[in-house]
Amino acid sequence: MADFSPDVILTIGSTLSYAFEATAGTRPTTGYTKIPGIVSSPDFDVAPDKIETTTFDNKVNKTYKPGLKDLGDLEFKANLSQSLFDTYYDTSTGIMDLYADAKTTGKAMWICFNPEGLNKSIYVPVEPQAPSIPAGSLNSAFQSTLRFTASGDAIFAEDPTEA
């Protein structure tokens, strides 16, 4: 049997939540609302692009400099439920309406991925996309893909205060 360190961080209990900036350009630290039913998360630590810097006098290996990272679309999977649907589509309180309102005043939406047992959370400013319409098969739960386009860097910071 494998010997696991007692401080290994597990996925059990991890949460995804969101909040909107009260002041444009300032990450919210309170008022985060959980997004229900999350079953998978993306890799937030993507490798930077490589910029080739090889010159004619290199005879064995190419040389590179690190370029920019591309978080692109962060994809989470979630079990489809009425509460997940309402989180996105409730009139005036759903993510899609709240984002449309925030955007008119130059304010961003932030997501917070909080691994249970870690004293920091991952924050990213994002533009939300509508959840996918899931495919299904016999004897299974519908799962929707939740996509968020990163509009800034992923950072570690103190755990959020929830709404």
Q: What is the pLDDT of residue 162?
A: 75
Measure the CA–CA gap between 74 and 117, rounded to whole angstroms: 22
Q: Which of 50, 44, 42, 37 is nearest to 144 (CA)?
A: 37
Q: What is the pLDDT of residue 34?
A: 96
Helix axis angle, 82-89 to 95-104, nearest 10°: 20
Q: What is the mean pLDDT of residues 152-160?
A: 93
* pLDDT tens column, 130-141: 998 888 889 999
Strands 50-52, 73-79: pairing is unpaired
Contact, 123 vs 111, CB < 8 A?
A: yes
Q: Over 80: is that where the pLDDT of 117 sits? A: yes
**Average model confidence (pLDDT) across the chain:** 92
Q: What is the mean pLDDT of residues 113-126?
A: 94
Q: Write down the residue that tokens 């992923």 correspond to.
A: 154
Phi–psi pair at 143, nearest 5 degrees: -125, 135
User: Is residue 136 included in any domain, yes or no?
Assistant: yes
Q: What is the pLDDT of residue 4?
A: 62
User: Is residue 15 included in any domain, yes or no?
Assistant: no
User: Is residue 49 included in any domain, yes or no?
Assistant: no
Q: Which range of residues forms the domain containing residue 83?
A: 20-41+72-158
User: Is residue 127 included in any domain, yes or no?
Assistant: yes
**In total, how many domains does the chain have?**
1
Q: What is the pLDDT of residue 157?
A: 95
User: Is residue 6 included in any domain, yes or no?
Assistant: no
pLDDT band for position 98 (cuts 50, 70, 90): very high
> What is the SS3 string spanning the chain?
CCCCCCCCCCCCCCEEEEEECCCCCCCCCCCEEECCCEEECCCCCCCCCEEECCCCCCCCCCCEEECCCCCCEEEEEEECCHHHHHHHHCCCCCHHHHHHHHHHCCCCEEEEEECCCCCEEEEEEEEECCCCCCCCCCCCCCEEEEEEEECCCCEEEECCCEC
* pLDDT tens column, 37-93: 999 999 888 888 999 999 999 999 999 999 888 888 999 999 999 999 999 999 889
Q: What is the mean pLDDT of residues 113-141?
A: 92
pTM of this prediction? 0.86
User: Is residue 66 included in any domain, yes or no?
Assistant: no
Q: What is the mean pLDDT of residues 29-41?
A: 95
